[in-house]
Structures are given as structure tokens and as C-alpha cells.
Amino acid sequence: MTKAYADLPALYGRLTGDEKHDWAAASTLDVLWVLYDRVLRVDPAHPDDPGRDRFLLSKGHGPMAFYSVLAAKGFIEESTLDDWLSFGSVLGYHPDRTLVPGVEIGSGSLGHGLPIGLGQAIGLTAGQRVFVLLGDGELDEGSNHEAIAVAGRRGQANLTAVVVDNGSATHGWPGGIAARFAVEGWATATVDGRDHAALERALTTDHPGAPLAVVAEIEKG
Amino acid sequence: MREEFVRVTTEAIEQDERVALVIAAISADRFTSALARHPDRVVDVGIREQAMVGVAAGLALTGHRAVVHTYVPFLIERPYEQVKLDFGHQGVHPVLVSIGASYDEPSTGRTHQAPADVALVDALPGYTIHVPGHAAEVEPLLRAALASDEPVYLRLSQRQNSAPMPATGGLVPVRHGSLGVVVAVGPVLDQVLAATEGLDVAVLYTATARPFDAAGLRAAVDSAAPNVVVVEPYLRDTSAGVVAAALRDLPHRQLGLGVRRDAEVHAYGTVEEHDAVHGLDPAGIREAVRGFLGA
């Protein structure tokens, strides 16, 4: 049985032991929920369906919100959360795609998701879409900028990058994050990263002939 | 060898829609037709080696047999963490194809030399590593690699032996002898044969460095004194560990010849001059083998 957004704090609490405070600070929680609840064409009963959309959590460090959403949507058993990080658990502090159904990439080392997602977007030609979630700090990694340029120039319209911006980049992004994508030919939108309706609208807006970057702004917790 | 790689890969792209190719500017002029005809699986990312590996991994994750190709330092060393994580860690595997082996082009200097490539790839789990010694050995090795889903590194060189050898994956006996066994890997066979002319040593050849043919080495050592010399056209002693493992239960001696580890050679010039510096010219190999065997 799948759960509602209101159930996430309890699931989150099974990972952190504190359902009152930690979950509210998770910068990715709302974006993940909107993606899995309203945007992604994925089916927990068939997590390997070739026709599914791909969601890549590139910012794999501290994946509690991701695991909570996967449990809420039925990709993993809720009880899996209780012994995470133990030797026999499939859930670690960095996710591993070979262990968890519905996890498309093993991540944790920053800057890998967008190039891989671009390759998937190129390789998927039956209408599947690829969504990659990055952090604004992760955007420091040069590998992202290689992929941003290539995807923009290819007009890779089935690729969406979601950048959760909570102002953690060491040297910042003068002129804004969206501008980095726009100059390379991406469609862009910058929205309140807690506003579900705005996130859904941005993530489902048509962007013919261009990849899409959605910058989800979050107040630094 | 590069022309054979281009020919066979271009054919494979036409014949098998699983096959994908990702390059980073290098060799793009040789794949113009494939790039134009198959933009969904033949990609030139420009001079962006991290994206090259990541994009190839994405293609592998969507069911493609991804071939990744560029000059060796930019294929193995620069995006090494991408190779480690974007492929193996994700449970998908590439065919890595390099050109510019060791000091193939001495005039380009150290920036274009990566003699540690085989050692680095060998440090990742599961790789088959081919070091063909002749252009005619490329096709069977590449076709087998494309037909599998396993991790493969195909190391192409501008240097080759005067005649092709069977690319069986194992050690091929070339010459018999009793004082010891000399293993020639890939394009050093001609130098090894010249160096050991008239010496009472067995010579074996292989175009496949990994997995190392331990049984073949053991059989050769059973027919000669247990003195093993491995001559490799890349970092010296790269195969010392696999030789030791193959002969673990047998008292033996071994000598590794290859590109020097102790110093970077700041020099241009010719491949023959670099062979001499590294002791890989026939005179250098002969002197080392005779000293080792007391022959």
C-alpha cells in the first residue's frame, strides 16, 4: 500500500530516530515526492520495465529522503528502513543500484549522475524520460559542465536536471544556476523547492528540442 | 591497429544495434559516417573525457554494448574514477579501446604517455586486457569483446610484430628451450625473438595480458628451468603478481622487463631510442636475460 506525503516524517524517523525535526530540513524531500507522486512513469511492481522513466539521484550523499519516498511508494519494504547501514542491509549512506529495486544508479561520489543520465537519455528512444537530481554544491564538479554542454548542443529533450539549490556551493554561482544551463541551450525554470504545485508545473512543462533544468530553491536549513 | 578498430567497429555498428560508440574528439574524423547515421548510439562529446565515460555508461545502462575510445592517458588516467564507478560499480561494463600505447609517439612527450594503463585497469575487478601485437590480431579480439557483456580493455599500439600470431587468449609457444621461459606480451615479440636468438630459452607469446594464462605458464615451466622473464610493452613488473600466483607452489625466479618505473624520461626522439632507455631493445633484453639466467 502506498502512502501519502504526510506519512513521510514517520518513515524518515525510522532512519534517523527523529521524525520531528530532521525530515523537515531534508532539502530533497519535496522534489523527490513530487517526482515520484506526480511526474515519473515508474511502477514499483515492475522496477525494471524497459519503458520506465529513469530517476537518477546524483546527489547520493545522505539519501534518507530518497529511501523514505521509495518506501512510501512501495519500491522497498518499510521494515527495510529499520536496520539500514547494517552489513546485511541493502540501504547504505550512499545508494547502490545493484542492491535496491528502483535505484537507477549507485551514487555518493558527486558529479557522476548527469553524464550517465545524458547517456541514458541518448540510449532511450521509446519515449522514456530521464530525470537527474543534483545539488548546487555538486554543480562544482566539472563533469556536470561537460554534460550540460553536450546535452544542450544535442537538444536532448528527454533529459531533465533538477538542481536543489540550498546555497551550499563553496564559491557560489553568480548570475544564478539557471543561467549556467540556459547559456548552453537548456530550457530552465527556477521555483520554490517546497512548493509542490510549482515543482510539478516546472517538471511537466513542455520543452521541445531542449533539455530542461529546474532549479529548486531551498532555504538553507 | 587503429584502422582495424575503426573498420570492425563501424561494421559492428551497422550490424548490431546494441553496439554504441562514445569518443572525445580523437578519431572522430574516422567515424564521420557512423556519427551521422546513428546519432542515438554513436556520440562524439568533444574534448570531455569525464562526460565520455559517463555517457557511455548511460548507454550501457540502457542495454547497449558501449565502446569507449580515445588516446590512452585520456581514456584510463584522466577519468579513472568514472571508469571505476560509472561502469563496474553500476554493474555494467564497457569495451575500452585506447591508442597511443606507452611511447608510441615519443615526440609528444610525457603528456601523451601512460605506461601504467594496464596496471590501472588491472586494479579494477574483472577486466580482460588485450595487448595485440599485430593489426590482424585486433579483429578477433574486438569481435569477441563486442559479443560479450564483460569488461574489456583493448590496448592498441602503432608498433607491431612482423607477422600476426594466434590471438587465443592464452600463451602460445613460439620457441622451445631449457634454461627458462620468456613471455612476450603483444608488440614486443620481434624484439624478444631477436634478443633470445641462440639462447636455450623457451619463448611464449600472448596478446591477452588478463586473465593471465597461469596454466600455460605452468606447463612451460614444467618443461624448462623455473626461471621466468616477462617482457611487457608497458610498466615493468605489471604482471609480476600474476606470475607469482601462477607458480605459488613452485620455487622459481622471475624477472620483469618493461617501461621503467623509477624515473620519468624527459626526452623526445624515436621509439628505438626510448626502447634503449627502458631496456626493451633487443640488446637490452638480451643482456638482461643472459644476466638473469647466467647464459
Q: What domains are defined for chain A? A: 5-217 (3.40.50.970)
Task: Look up the pTM and report it.
Answer: 0.96
Q: Is B209:B119 a contact under the CB 8 Å cutoff?
A: no
Averaged pLDDT, A115-139:
97
pLDDT at B169: 94
| Cell output for B11 | 561494421
With cut-offs at 50, 70 and 90, classify the pLDDT of residue A19.
low
pLDDT of A36 > 90? The answer is: yes
Averaged pLDDT, A137-162:
98
Report the CATH architecture of B172-293.
Answer: 3-Layer(aba) Sandwich (3.40)
* Nearest residue to A200 via CA among A30, A57, A59: A30
**A chain contacts of residue B64, beta-carbon cutoff 8 Å:** 123
Q: Where are the alpha helices (DSSP H) in chain B?
A: 2-15, 32-37, 49-61, 72, 80-82, 117-122, 138-147, 189-195, 214-222, 240-246, 271-278, 282-293
Report the CATH architecture of B2-155.
Answer: 3-Layer(aba) Sandwich (3.40)
pLDDT of A34 > 70? The answer is: yes
Query: What's the helix, strand, coil split of chain B in %, to 5?
Result: 40, 20, 40
pLDDT at A179: 98
pLDDT of A1 > 80? The answer is: no
**Closest residue of chain B to A144, computed from CA coordinates:** B51
With cut-offs at 50, 70 and 90, classify the pLDDT of residue A18.
confident
10-residue mean pLDDT profile of chain B (295 residues): values are 98 98 98 97 98 98 98 98 98 98 96 97 98 98 98 98 96 98 98 98 98 98 97 98 97 98 95 98 98 93
**B chain contacts of residue A142, beta-carbon cutoff 8 Å:** 50
**A chain contacts of residue B59, beta-carbon cutoff 8 Å:** 119-120, 122-123
pLDDT at B24: 98
Q: Which of B:166-205 have CB within 8 Å of A?
A: none
pLDDT of A21 > 70? The answer is: no
Taking the Cβ of residue A143 and every Cβ of chain B, the question of whether any pair is shorter than 8 Å is answered with yes
pLDDT at B187: 98
Domain parsing of chain B, residue ranges:
2-155, 172-293
Note whether B81 contacts A50, CB cutoff 8 Å: no
pLDDT of A23 > 70? The answer is: no
